[in-house]
Copies of this chain bind each other. A is one copy, B any other.
């Protein structure tokens, strides 16, 4: 437990606070709650079978009750509809309406201010930082602190360093394509957990 580790944690705390603030500002502007915003964005970027109250709760680390509330609010605003799922009568999938998709599109830019400050860093530094983040997320996942990873490093289709000494050293067995360090995913929709 070095001083350096403490500083890294403190820095992450700061950045975490920045994100909360940005999300809150977006919430005020758009007259949606933070959780409603995140729900819309999630729904617009995941396949229908993953768009369910229970799944959202699992992803966000909240209870189904909390998500159900937010979904209610979004349904009342006409941004999504609940649709029965043929394969299981207990399940309702959450589908964005056209207006919901339009909003989600706009909302997905809530991190823009942060992204603008990240953009000017040199490419090599950003790649190293991303690698650090991905490895950290992997560790947190394996330690059980995160329940959903969806990063390449924990995916059963991932082959680390399959093409050594190349610009694209890694490989995704699902897409059957070599991957550059900077192409490693943070939230892959096709991710399937390696059962290790």
Q: Which residue of B lies closest to A142 (CB)?
A: B117
Give the distance to chain B from A92, nearest Cβ to Cβ, in Å.
25
Main secondary structure of the interface of A (DSSP, over half): helix
Q: How large is the interface on A (under 10, 10 to 19, 20 to 34, 35 or more residues)?
A: 35 or more
Q: Which residue of B lies closest to A112 (CB)?
A: B1
Copies in the complex: 2
Q: Which residue of B lies closest to A132 (CB)?
A: B129
Is A50 engaged at the interface, CB distance under 8 Å to the other chain? no
A-B pairs with lowest CB-CB distance, top 5? A11-B133, A16-B16, A10-B186, A16-B19, A117-B139
Q: Contact residues of A with B, CB < 8 Å? A: 1-22, 60-61, 111, 113-121, 123, 125-130, 132-137, 139-140, 143, 145-146, 182-187
Give the distance to chain B from A136, nearest Cβ to Cβ, in Å.
6
The residues of B that contact A7 with a CB separation of less than 8 Å are: 130, 182, 184-186
Known: A12-B114, A145-B18, A186-B14. A5 touches B119 (CB 8 A): yes
